Structure 1
Amino acid sequence: MKLLVIGGSGFLGRAFVEEALAGGHEVTTFNRGRSGADVPGVEAVRGDREVAADLERLAEGRSWDVVIDTSGYVPRVVGESVRALSGRAGTYAFVSSISALDGFPAEPAEEGAPGWACEPDAGPDDGGYGVLKAGCERAVEQGFDGNALIIQPGIILGPHEDIARLPWWLTRIARGGQVLAPGDPGAPMQLVDARDVAIFTLDQAARGAAGQFIVTGPVGKVTYGEWLGLCKEATGSDAELVWVDDEFLVEQGAGTFVELPLWGGPPSAVTANFWNVPTGAAEAAGLRTRPVAETVRDTWAWLREIPEDRRNFGSKTTHGMAPEKEAAILSAWAGRSA
């Protein structure tokens, strides 16, 4: 296949490019050249998707079998890309999110459910992340003359992760000592490797598939305790995981998801829904997910080549707890336990 990847040098886009090249596909990337180096073997076209002239220059004289859009967050912007590329490819594969599903995570996720109310020409101030992703989906479905393939991933991890969730935990655990481990080690998680998202999407595109697929790991594949244990194993660390009660962490002002990556706080309907997302349609269509241990191991192999003081990856959100705060909470927990 001939593929156009909008993005292609960052985390998920890079996974798409590498898997496509490994599969013998011909790949063009379109990006500003700011997020990272181009993967060798691509035709790299520089441009900004928010500049109409750049989109026109990209489309002029070119055509592809599939467009892969991994970097769409604003419906109006995605719509401009769709209009410029409609008729230039047979399939537009848009990587959305489970957060686009209406009511989620306060309500359980349902495969094929409608997205949040959001117009396909909405701007950046017309909603939060999930609402805008739903608008992006509509921009593709309503504006592209061809197959609209909508991929709705859960939590994506793997090498080159630029959100620094797994990288932060690996870095912290590798440092050793007592490590604040949040909540219940038996709490379930659903995680998916970026490479598995890419492989599934490319396979569906090759078959001419359309429609929506929730793409994440199966329910019950790994717990939080097993996940952090895999981080210890991968790094060879002698760190001591100190499991601290959910409610105590809330009392101490510990932040969910960002300050303690992927910790959702005390058990609730929201956290239960977040880690209990159905994937039956994708599995029936061929989704296969690798062991979480492989994702952790490969991420550490990539991460260890980067000096620790450079592991911020340019993310807009700084993940992880400050050492001073972690030490204070661990001391308070030890005092309470004593």
Structure 2
Amino acid sequence: MRLLVLGGTEFVGRAVVEGALGRGWEVTVFHRGRHEAPDGVKALHGDRTAEGGLAALEGDGKWDAVVDTWSGAPGAVRDTARLLRDRVGRYVYVSSCSVYAWAPPAGYTEDAPVVAASPDAGEGGEGGYAEDKRGGELAVLDAFGPERSVLARAGLIIGRYENVGRLPWWLNRTARGGPVLAPGPRDLPLQCIDVRDLANWLLHAAEGDFGGPYNLISPSGHATMGTLLEACAAVTGGGADLRWTDPDLILTHGIEPWTQLPVWVPPGSDLHDALHSADVSRALATGLRCRPVEETVADAWAWLRSLGGVAPLRPDRAGKGVDPEVEARVLAARDGVPGTTP
């Protein structure tokens, strides 16, 4: 297989490149040059947001498939897809479950309504992340058609190379030890996917003959808040004491789900239905396999330790984690310390 990866130096793109090289594929990486490309690839440089930024992709180069992880304005996807449509067999676009119109019901499938969007939206437009991703989908469909377009609607992605900061925050927090605010309930079902499992499926799609949208995430309950945080505490060995805390008490103290307590959203909420209850039967039927969360956590911790505990975070993503003083205040209220809000 001859594979073109747009990006390929960070998180999902890097995992895709490593997976393809492991299969013995010929890999070309097109990126801006801000990070070193993995060894063993042909590197092309260009900025998709700049005039003439696709020049390195012009010419007679051909590939069996392209994998695109772009998450900005969809105009970049539109221009790239149009340039490549006669020289690439299949376009695999890493989209997001965020494209579904709010709020998708629990158990939503790929047929659920999506947000209104345009493939022609440019930088600085009024659209947000959901509209950008949906616009990217439309751009791919316009250039490649439904049979040659794979729309991988990913959910929560975790593992090595994570540059968003969710799992790295929990790993560093449990490594610090002591009482840890563990948002309950302990058996709260989660949906997440190891970046390597996502990459494996993307490569499978690149060489396959299927197209259209797929919810790309583990089955709901493949992991729970308990299995995730207990794995973090075990692998870091920091003596973390997980203090499982009622969701109402957490919310009463103004803590923001998902950001201040990464991954967690309260049970029974629209957020939980949207983020942790998608139907993934279509992806499973095409070969999606998800490893145990304990394996993901251990691999991410080994990678994070190799970096001295500091993950390389994207500048366009909000910071994650709760302030230690706020955490202590909630734990004190949980334990009935005098002078704190019960």
State the partner residue of 1:19. Answer: 19
State the partner residue of 1:156. Answer: 157
Query: 16-25 or 244-253, which moves further after superposition?
Result: 244-253
Structure 1 residue 226 and structure 2 residue 205: aligned? no
Query: 1:19-48 CA distances to partner (integer Å, 9 max, x unpaired)?
Result: 0000111111111122x3211001111110
State the partner residue of 2:184. Answer: 183
State the partner residue of 1:100. Answer: 99
Distance between the aligned counterparts of 1:270 and 1:105, measured in 2? 9
State the partner residue of 2:122. Answer: 123
State the partner residue of 1:82. Answer: 81
State the partner residue of 2:321. Answer: 320
Counterpart amino acid of residue 85 in structure 1: L
Q: CA deviation at 1:157?
A: 0.6
Q: CA deviation at 1:314?
A: 3.7
Check whether the contact 2:46–2:55 (CA below 8 A) recurs between aligned residues.
Answer: no
Distance between the aligned counterparts of 1:52 and 1:238, measured in 2? 53
Within 5 Å, give how 1:135-284 maps onto structure 2: 135-144=135-144, 147-265=148-266, 267-284=268-285
> What SS does the aligned partner of 2:43 have?
strand
Structure 1 residue 42 and structure 2 residue 41: aligned? yes
Check whether the contact 2:33–2:45 (CA below 8 A) recurs between aligned residues.
Answer: yes
Give the ranges of 4+ consecutive aligned residues of structure 1 lying more than 4 Å apart after TM superposition.
Answer: none
> Structure 1 residues 240 and 107 mapped into 2: Cα distance closer, same or farther (>3 Å)?
closer
Distance between the aligned counterparts of 1:62 and 1:151, measured in 2? 25
Q: CA deviation at 1:275?
A: 1.4
Counterpart amino acid of residue 121 in structure 1: D
State the partner residue of 1:2. Answer: 2
Distance between the aligned counterparts of 2:24 and 2:307, measured in 1? 29
Distance between the aligned counterparts of 1:311 and 1:251, measured in 2? 30
Distance between the aligned counterparts of 1:103 and 1:318, measured in 2? 24
Distance between the aligned counterparts of 2:185 and 2:75, measured in 1? 42
Check whether the contact 1:56–1:84 (CA below 8 A) recurs between aligned residues.
Answer: no
Distance between the aligned counterparts of 1:105 and 1:161, measured in 2? 26
Distance between the aligned counterparts of 1:198 and 1:32, measured in 2? 21
Distance between the aligned counterparts of 1:94 and 1:17, measured in 2? 15
Distance between the aligned counterparts of 2:212 and 2:311, measured in 1? 37
State the partner residue of 1:110. Answer: 109
> Structure 1 residues 269 and 219 mapped into 2: Cα distance closer, same or farther (>3 Å)?
same
Check whether the contact 2:104–2:112 (CA below 8 A) recurs between aligned residues.
Answer: no
State the partner residue of 1:54. Answer: 53
TM-score by length of 1: 0.94
Distance between the aligned counterparts of 1:6 and 1:100, measured in 2? 21
Q: CA RMSD in A?
A: 1.9
Counterpart amino acid of residue 139 in structure 1: A
Check whether the contact 2:162–2:311 (CA below 8 A) recurs between aligned residues.
Answer: no
Distance between the aligned counterparts of 2:210 and 2:287, measured in 1? 12
Distance between the aligned counterparts of 1:5 and 1:112, measured in 2? 28
Within 5 Å, give how 1:278-317 maps onto structure 2: 278-308=279-309, 310-311=310-311, 313-315=313-315, 316-317=317-318
Q: Which runs of 5+ in 2 are unaligned?
A: none
> Structure 1 residues 336 and 247 mapped into 2: Cα distance closer, same or farther (>3 Å)?
farther
Q: CA deviation at 1:220?
A: 2.0
Q: CA deviation at 1:167?
A: 0.7
Distance between the aligned counterparts of 1:92 and 1:328, measured in 2? 50
Check whether the contact 2:69–2:93 (CA below 8 A) recurs between aligned residues.
Answer: yes
Query: 1:176-203 CA distances to partner (integer Å, 9 max, x unpaired)?
Result: 0011111211110011111111111111
Q: CA deviation at 1:57?
A: 2.6
Check whether the contact 1:115–1:131 (CA below 8 A) recurs between aligned residues.
Answer: no
Q: CA deviation at 1:109?
A: 2.1
Q: CA deviation at 1:102?
A: 2.8
Aligned pair count reads 336
TM-score by length of 2: 0.92
